Amino acid sequence: MMEKPEKEYADIPGTTIFDADQSRKGYGVNMFCMSLLKADNRAAFKANEAEYLKAFNLTPDQTEAVLKRQWNRMLELGGNIYFTSKLGATDGLSFQQVAAMMTGATQQEYADMMLAGGRSVEGNRRKSEWEHKNG
């Protein structure tokens, strides 16, 4: 079997691009998150999270990421940020709160960064550039 070539955008530091491969990998995670649009499903999930997840055929890593609310890991494992935000909402979190957790910032630090124009592009364009400068 031929190995897939490295994607050019895989070189962006701190970023997981949601593409067709990620979509296939994260189908179960994303369908689980979308199920949370219904109140009955949210109640069933909150009543027994691990049991509820079994219906979505998640990998053990995906299950762990959901149960531990490892937001970045969910994206690495194929989750889509717009779908995983439904889990955050189920937990009573705003999108901004989840995004702050994903960056390791407080909600206020994250809000301030975004109001100031977002993350600087310096050192954040290519992993290879960063490794070359800092390696």
- Domain boundaries of the chain, sorted by first residue: 16-92, 105-135
pLDDT at 123: 61
Q: What is the mean pLDDT of residues 115-129?
A: 70
Q: 118: helix, coil or strand? A: coil
- Please state, for a pLDDT cut of 90, what percent of the chain lies above it: 61
Say how far apart CA 112 and CA 6 lie, in whole Å. 35
Q: What would the CATH number be for the domain defined by 16-92?
A: 1.10.700.10
Say how far apart CA 130 and CA 135 lie, in whole Å. 8
Q: Is the pTM of this model over 0.85?
A: no
Query: At residue 130, does pLDDT exceed 70?
Result: no
The total of other beta-carbon atoms located within 10 Å of residue 38's CB is 10
